[in-house]
A = this chain, B = another copy of it.
Amino acid sequence: MRAIAINRSVLEMEYAIRGPIPQRAAQLAREGREIIPCNIGNPLALGQQPLTYYRQVLSLLEDPSRIRRERTLLAGGGAPDPDAPDEYTLGTAEDMLQQLKAGTGAYSESQGALFIREAVAAFIDRRDGVSATGQKADPDHIFLTNGASEGVRNVLELLITGPADGIMIPIPQYPLYSATIRRCGGIQVNYYPDEDREWSLTREELERARARAAKQGVRVRALVVINPGNPTGAILDEATQATVVDFAEAHGIAILADEVYQDNVYGGTFVSFAKMVGGRNVPLFSFHSVSKGFFGECGHRGGYMEVRNPPAVEGSSCTLLDVLIKQASVSLCSNTIGQILVGLAVQPPPPGTPPYARFARERECILADLREKAGIIKAAFPRMAGVHCFGRTGAMYLFPRLERLPAGTNDFEYCMALLEETGLCTVNGAGFGQKAGTHHMRIAFLPSQQELSAVLDRWIEFHNRYCTAG
Contact = CB atoms under 8 A, between A and B. Distances in A.
A146 to B, nearest CB: 5
B58 A327 contact: no
A62 B55 contact: yes
Contacts of A330: 13, 15, 149, 176, 179-180, 183
Nearest to A325: B18
Nearest to A281: B1
22 contacts: A1-B282, A2-B312, A3-B311, A4-B312, A4-B320, A7-B159, A11-B318, A42-B106, A44-B103, A45-B102, A50-B103, A59-B59, A65-B83, A104-B299, A105-B299, A106-B298, A107-B298, A146-B335, A147-B332, A180-B330, A300-B337, A301-B335
B8 A161 contact: yes
Nearest to A249: B1
A326 B43 CA distance: 22
A301 B13 contact: no
A31 interface: no
A313 B176 CA distance: 23
A281 B281 CA distance: 56
Interface string A98-114: 00011111111010000
Interface size class of A (residues with CB under 8 A): 35 or more
Contacts of A81: 69
A398 to B, nearest CB: 21
Interface of A: 1-8, 10-11, 13, 15, 17-18, 40, 42-46, 50, 55-56, 58-60, 62-63, 65-66, 68-69, 81, 83-84, 101-108, 110, 146-147, 149-150, 157-161, 176, 179-180, 183-184, 221, 252, 281-283, 296-301, 309, 311-316, 318, 320, 323, 326-327, 329-338
A103 B296 CA distance: 12
A464 B102 CA distance: 35
A38 to B, nearest CB: 15
Contacts of A8: 161
A5 B314 contact: yes
Q: Which 4 A-B pairs have the closest CB atoms?
A: A59-B63, A45-B106, A299-B336, A44-B105
Contact of A313 (B11, B42, B329, B337): B11
Contacts of A157: 7, 10, 183
A106 B452 CA distance: 20
A296 B2 CA distance: 39
A63 B56 contact: yes
B299 A6 contact: no
A448 B108 CA distance: 20
Given A2-B311, A298-B332, A107 B337 contact: no
Contacts of A338: 335
Given A160-B7, A336-B300, A107 B40 contact: yes
A91 to B, nearest CB: 17
A35 B355 CA distance: 40
A334 B159 contact: no
A210 B10 CA distance: 26
Contacts of A179: 330
B42 A107 contact: yes
A315 B84 CA distance: 58
A69 B84 contact: yes
